[in-house]
Amino acid sequence: MASQPNARAPRLAKAGYHHGNLRASLVQAALKLLDEQGPTALTLRGIAQVNGVTQTASAYHFTDKEGLECAIAAVCFRELIARLTEAISVSAAPEERLLAAMRAYVLYADSSPARFQFMFLARLIGSTRGDEVKVAARTCFGLLRLLVAELVTQAGGDSESVETETLAAWSVVHGFGKISAGSLIPSQVGQLVSHDVAREAVIASFVEGLAAKLAARRSGGTVMERGHGR
pLDDT band at 20 (very low <50, low <70, confident <90, very high): low
Summarised one tens digit per residue, pLDDT across range 173-199 is 999 999 999 888 888 787 888 889 999
Percent of the chain with pLDDT over 70: 87
96 and 180 housed in the same domain: yes
Give the rounded distance of the alpha carbon of 106 from its chain centre: 9
214 and 108 housed in the same domain: yes
Of 158 and 24, more confident: 24
Structural domain including 87 reads 66-227
Contact 114, 52 (CB under 8 A): no
SS3 call for 94: helix
114 and 140 housed in the same domain: yes
114 and 75 housed in the same domain: yes
Whichever domain contains 21, its CATH number is 1.10.10
Q: Mean pLDDT over all residues of the chain?
A: 87
186 sits in the region (left: phi over 0; alpha: psi -120 to 50; else beta) called beta
Summarised one tens digit per residue, pLDDT across range 79-101 is 999 999 999 999 999 999 999 99
77 and 180 housed in the same domain: yes
Summarised one tens digit per residue, pLDDT across range 114-140 is 999 999 998 998 888 889 999 999 999
Whichever domain contains 144, its CATH number is 1.10.357.10
Our count of domains for the chain comes to 2
Distance separating alpha carbons of residues 131 and 125, to the nearest angstrom: 8
15 and 105 housed in the same domain: no
pTM of the model: 0.84
161 and 194 housed in the same domain: yes
| pLDDT(72) > 90 | yes
Q: Which residues contact 66 (CB under 8 A, 6 or more apart)?
A: 127, 129
80 and 16 housed in the same domain: no
Closest CA to 144 of 156, 162, 160: 162
102 and 6 housed in the same domain: no
Summarised one tens digit per residue, pLDDT across range 144-156 is 999 999 999 988 8
| pLDDT(158) > 80 | yes
Distance separating alpha carbons of residues 179 and 95, to the nearest angstrom: 24
pLDDT for the residue numbered 222: 57
